[in-house]
Amino acid sequence: MIKDEIHLFELAKSSYGLVISPMLASFVPVENAATAFDPHRHDSFGLFLLRSGEMTMMVEGQEIIMQRSSLLLVQPGQVHQCIQSTKISGWVMFVDGKNLDMKTRAVTEQSAQEIALFSLGSDGLLFTDQLLLSIYQAAEDKNPGPFQTEMLHALINALFYQAANLHLLPKSSAERSASRPAQIVQQYKGLIKSHFKNLRRPAEYAALLHISVRHLNDTVKAQTGYSATYLLQQEVIGEAKRQLTYTTKMVKEIAFNLGYGDYKYFIRLFTKIVGQSPSGFRKNTKSANIYSNKSAGLQMEY
């Protein structure tokens, strides 16, 4: 059932800026299970490790089939839902991005439309599984030491260093460096996520970064192949697509919520970028049929 809002799970009240839970085949309903199995998103990074079994996820409207020994990363703000699972075991973890090393965020924090799914070998699975077990045990420790938080954050970063390695394996050595240009792009993307509703021009972001707009444009183009304006528009259009897919809001209301006082201009912009009008996009997604299934067999303590 499509709702008026996309439910957002916030991590602010979680200890250590972390939520972690085993993924079990025998599902026992929890208080917010109904919401967790509907399309939703988090304000934190999500990590799903599937040790065994098979699980079908919907992430940003794409069907993702996870096989045994696979790892899925979900970015903050990405709408996702588990729609089916069979004989699964593994881990589910959500972590505050502020606790991550800047270099790993520069690699793992891709655009909101990119899906990061990796197949792990036996060694990679063992290493990742042991790290998650250590994180879980440390987070559940009833008698934490004075450096418990620091130890946990170190373990979490070790896990994300591994994820960053998986991102970089197919790439050239030139792309691996956490250079100043890469940092600028990562910072620009982070600012977009926070301010895209009220800052519309790359020049405004360049001012926040204390660089010239030309330097921002040239850096973004060299690092990503896209213009600074394109990345900004993709963030806006990506959120518009989520609202059209997962809520019953009128197009005019969505435009207003995204900071467009002139909703007709928003419709023209959306149509130009997507290739169809907002109402046409909503009709073609047929989200009411796609997302009506409930997940069975997954325990996720959010």
How does residue 30 score in pLDDT terms, banded at 50, 70 and 90?
very low
Average pLDDT over residues 266-289: 85
The domain defined by 180-283 folds into: Arc Repressor Mutant, subunit A (1.10.10)
The answer to whether residue 53 scores a pLDDT higher than 70 is yes
The answer to whether residue 300 scores a pLDDT higher than 90 is no
Give me the CATH code for the 7-172 domain, please: 2.60.120.280
How does residue 102 score in pLDDT terms, banded at 50, 70 and 90?
confident
The answer to whether residue 297 scores a pLDDT higher than 50 is no
How does residue 2 score in pLDDT terms, banded at 50, 70 and 90?
low
Q: State the pLDDT at residue 125.
A: 92
Q: For residue 1, how many other CB atoms are within 10 A of its CB?
A: 7
243-269 tens-digit pLDDT: 998 898 999 999 999 989 899 999 999
Q: For residue 155, how many other CB atoms are within 10 A of its CB?
A: 18
The answer to whether residue 105 scores a pLDDT higher than 90 is no
169-223 tens-digit pLDDT: 655 444 444 567 888 888 898 889 889 988 989 999 999 998 999 999 999 998 8
Helix (H), strand (E) counts: the chain: 13, 8
**At what angle are helices 263-274 and 278-285 packed, to 10 degrees?**
60
Domain ranges of the chain: 7-172, 180-283
Residue 90, strand partner residues: 23, 50
Contact assessment for residue 75 and residue 113, using Cβ atoms and an 8 Å cutoff: no
Contact assessment for residue 53 and residue 43, using Cβ atoms and an 8 Å cutoff: no
How does residue 291 score in pLDDT terms, banded at 50, 70 and 90?
very low
How does residue 127 score in pLDDT terms, banded at 50, 70 and 90?
very high
Element (H, E) at 73: strand 70-74
Between residues 3 and 68, which one has the greater pLDDT?
A: 68
Average pLDDT over residues 136-145: 91
Q: State the pLDDT at residue 115.
A: 77
Closest CA to 11 of 59, 46, 54, 55: 46
d(CA 250, CA 261): 14
Residue 17 CA, chain-centre distance (Å), reads 16
Place of tokens 């939520």: 19
Q: State the pLDDT at residue 108.
A: 73
Average pLDDT over residues 106-132: 81
DSSP state of 31: T
How does residue 294 score in pLDDT terms, banded at 50, 70 and 90?
very low
Taking the whole predicted model, whether its pTM rises above 0.75 is answered as no
Listed range (33-42, 122-131, 210-219) with the worst mean pLDDT: 33-42
The answer to whether residue 138 scores a pLDDT higher than 90 is yes
Q: State the pLDDT at residue 31.
A: 44
d(CA 272, CA 86): 41
Closest CA to 74 of 103, 94, 98, 96: 94
